[in-house]
């Protein structure tokens, strides 16, 4: 038996019955021969797309095919940070749309995703960096998004334990977005899977796509390890594997795949009550509800499809942590893992049609795709349903690398190792 809706009443009832009555959160669907839409990749983006296809567009003859289990990809591997503190007009409205969807998500999908708007604080360490952050904060405010530039004293009140007088990288201040924060990552996958399933979507696990069937320039179906599936439309949401899956349809994407590692320490008493990013290197940290410090840094700087990183990056991340807050020097790291990043050449994502009719593309999330999960699904579902981009995603086109209309958020050009 399961519950149609989770509520305080079902919780009370189950707590009195030894929690024997919770059913599976979603059906273990087997592939059917044909669907209106098939989404490849059951990560956050694929599942949210399926959910919004059903909830916003009434398209429910939909399957999500996932080669592993739900939550096995990046959606369950990230450091859970959400924010909308972007600089460029091509990105700001999109990420703000996402943050607004996060704010209502738990009610919408009836699932506790532990959305915690604890604030995201980006530190700056030089005058030039302060100017860049002031510019970014102003751009955000011009779009109606909250942003506060904090001086050194204000940051010190928030982070009394940080090393403000580090000889090389003293902290001068920070850019704070109070509405940013964290969300329990795998609950997002489970919540969207359950909500999509409730609306009739088939969530098919352990079903790897091995080929894309194209007839007369149109995608008409998929070959999978569980048989052939016909589809009127196919959406690719394969994150780090995007290049490999798109190649099945003969497409070469402007994407490189890189490993990104994450780390969790032993549980300690409450210390960090927001998300902090260190501006002099690449280091970001928050504290989970269980007390573990959750942190990460840069991608391993080589192309790979592996889920395991290497020691130089571990060292680099720990050095960043020590420079920012030497107080954590004796805390033990208990877990680390890697995920696969789909790095685009301008640091911004792609949500667009492809040159193949009926084949749609969602990728290029670099290492910021978790925060985009709701808006990505929203906009991708709109694109697939209406064959036109949702306005906030209109700049995220595939052909921008040919036309030169880049959304170069980081200003580093075609060097994904610098994103
Ligand atoms: C260590 C780490 C830290 C991160 N931190 C953050 C953060 O703090 N904030 C943030 O916003 N973002 C962060 N990210 C990035 C974010 O996790 C990703 O950008 C985002 O999750 C990618 O979208 P997704 O959830 O759909 O990907 P995934 O969960 O990877 O989904 C793609 C799915 O496609 C499936 N697939 C691939 N090939 C096939 C095939 N042939 N057939 C069927 N299925 C296939 C995969 O198995 C996978 O499940 C981080 C990532 C990592 C690894």
Residue 300 CB partners (closer than 8 Å, separation 6+): 258, 259, 260, 261, 309, 310, 312, 313, 338
Q: Where are the domains of the chain?
A: 8-111+185-254+346-418, 120-180+257-343
Q: Is 418 a residue whose pLDDT tops 90?
A: no
User: What pLDDT is attached to residue 3?
Assistant: 79
Q: Which of 251, 286, 339, 344 to mutate to test the pocket of ligand 1 (most atoms within 8 A of CB)?
A: 339
The per-residue DSSP string of 321-389 comes to: HHHH-GGGTTPPEEEEEEEEEEEETTS--EEEE-SSBTEEEEE--TT--STTHHHHHHHHHHHHHHSS-
The whole-angstrom separation of Cα 31 and Cα 204 is 7
Q: Kindly give the number of the ligand 1 atom that is closest to the alpha carbon of 209.
A: 42
Instruction: Identify each DSSP E strand in 17-129 by its residue range.
Output: 34-40, 62-65, 81-82, 120-124
Distance (angstroms) between ligand 1 centre and the Cα of 305 equals 12
What residue's CA is closest to ligand 1, atom 18? 369
Nearest to 209 by CA among 19, 328, 369, 39: 39
What is the arithmetic mean of pLDDT over 281-303?
95
Percentage above 70 pLDDT, the chain: 98
Q: Kindly give the number of the ligand 1 atom that is closest to the alpha carbon of 70.
A: 49
Distance (angstroms) between ligand 1 centre and the Cα of 20 equals 33
What pLDDT digit, counting tens, does each position of 80-108 carry? 999 999 999 999 999 999 999 999 999 99
User: What pLDDT is attached to residue 126?
Assistant: 96
Q: What is the per-residue burial (b if ≥16 Cβ within 10 Å, else e) of 216-226? A: eeebbbbebee
- 50 CB under 6 A from ligand 1? no
Topology agreement, domain 8-111+185-254+346-418 and domain 120-180+257-343: no
Distance (angstroms) between ligand 1 centre and the Cα of 207 equals 17
- 73 CB under 6 A from ligand 1? yes
What pLDDT digit, counting tens, does each position of 212-233 carry? 999 999 999 999 999 999 999 9
Band (pLDDT 50/70/90 cuts) for residue 157 is very high
Distance (angstroms) between ligand 1 centre and the Cα of 341 equals 7
Instruction: Identify each DSSP E strand in 240-314 by its residue range.
Output: 255-267, 275-278, 283-287, 292-303
Percentage above 90 pLDDT, the chain: 95
Q: List, in sequence order, every residue forming a beta bridge with 267; answer none if it has no partner.
A: 292
What is the arithmetic mean of pLDDT over 191-205?
98
Residue 8 CB partners (closer than 8 Å, separation 6+): none
Q: What is the per-residue burial (b if ≥16 Cβ within 10 Å, else e) of 58-83? A: ebbbbbbbbbeebbbbbbbbbbbbbb
- 75 CB under 6 A from ligand 1? yes
User: What pLDDT is attached to residue 419?
Assistant: 60
Q: Kindly give the number of the ligand 1 atom that is closest to the alpha carbon of 372.
A: 11
DSSP-derived secondary structure letter, 248:
T
Q: Kindly give the number of the ligand 1 atom that is closest to the alpha carbon of 83.
A: 11
- 102 CB under 6 A from ligand 1? no
Region of 243 please: left (phi>0), alpha (psi -120 to 50) or beta: alpha
pTM of the model: 0.97
Q: Is 16 a residue whose pLDDT tops 70?
A: yes
User: What pLDDT is attached to residue 413?
Assistant: 67
User: What pLDDT is attached to residue 251?
Assistant: 98
Across the chain, what does the average pLDDT equal? 96
Instruction: Specify whether the CB–CB gap between 385 and 57 falls below 8 A.
Output: yes
User: What pLDDT is attached to residue 410?
Assistant: 78
- 298 CB under 6 A from ligand 1? no
Q: Kindly give the number of the ligand 1 atom that is closest to the alpha carbon of 41.
A: 34
Domain spanning 8-111+185-254+346-418: CATH 3.50.50.60: yes
User: What pLDDT is attached to residue 51?
Assistant: 98
The angle formed by the CA atoms of residues 272, 371 and 381, to the nearest 5 degrees, is 160
Q: Which of 274, 370, 378 to mutate to test the pocket of ligand 1 (most atoms within 8 A of CB)?
A: 370
- 67 CB under 6 A from ligand 1? yes
- 66 CB under 6 A from ligand 1? yes
Can you identify the CATH homologous superfamily of domain 120-180+257-343?
D-Amino Acid Oxidase, subunit A, domain 2 (3.30.9.10)
């Amino acid at each position: 038996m399961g519950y149609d809706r989770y509520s305080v009443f079902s919780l009370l009832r189950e707590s009195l019955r030894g929690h024997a009555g919770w059913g599976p959160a979603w059906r273990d669907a087997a592939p059917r021969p044909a669907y209106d839409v098939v989404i490849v990749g059951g990560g956050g983006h694929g599942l949210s797309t399926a959910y919004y296809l059903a909830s916003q567009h009434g398209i429910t003859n939909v399957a999500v095919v996932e080669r592993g289990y739900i939550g096995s990809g990046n959606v369950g591997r990230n450091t859970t940070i959400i924010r909308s503190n972007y600089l460029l007009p091509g990105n700001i409205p999109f990420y703000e749309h996402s943050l607004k969807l996060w704010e209502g998500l738990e009610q919408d999908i009836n699932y506790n995703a532990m959305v915690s708007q604890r604030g995201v604080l980006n530190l700056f360490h030089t005058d030039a960096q302060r100017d860049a952050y002031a510019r970014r904060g102003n751009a955000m405010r011009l779009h109606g998004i909250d942003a506060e530039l904090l001086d050194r004293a204000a940051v010190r009140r928030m982070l009394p334990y940080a090393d403000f007088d580090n000889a090389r990288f003293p902290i001068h201040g920070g850019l704070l977005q109070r509405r940013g924060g964290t969300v329990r990552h795998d609950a997002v996958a489970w919540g969207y899977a359950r909500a999509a399933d409730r609306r009739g979507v088939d969530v098919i696990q352990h079903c790897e796509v091995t080929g894309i069937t194209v007839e007369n320039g149109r995608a008409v179906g998929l070959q999978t390890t569980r048989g052939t599936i016909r589809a009127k439309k196919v959406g690719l949401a394969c994150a780090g594997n995007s290049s490999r899956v798109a190649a099945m349809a003969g497409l070469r994407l402007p994407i490189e795949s890189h490993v990104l590692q994450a780390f969790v320490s032993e549980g300690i008493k409450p210390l960090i009550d927001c998300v902090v990013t260190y501006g002099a290197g690449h280091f970001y940290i928050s504290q989970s509800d269980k007390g573990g410090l959750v942190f990460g840094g840069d991608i391993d700087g080589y192309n790979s499809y592996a889920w395991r990183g290497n020691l130089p990056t571990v060292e680099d991340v720990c050095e960043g942590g020590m420079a920012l807050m030497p107080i954590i020097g004796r805390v033990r790291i208990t877990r680390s893992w890697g995920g696969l990043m789909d790095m685009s050449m301008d640091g911004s994502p792609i949500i667009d049609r492809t040159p193949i009719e009926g084949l749609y593309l969602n990728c290029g999330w670099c290492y910021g795709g978790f925060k985009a999960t709701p808006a990505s699904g929203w906009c991708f579902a709109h694109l697939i349903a209406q064959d036109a981009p949702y306005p906030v995603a209109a700049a995220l086109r595939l052909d921008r690398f040919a036309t030169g209309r880049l959304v170069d958020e980081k200003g580093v050009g075609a060097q994904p190792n610098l994103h």
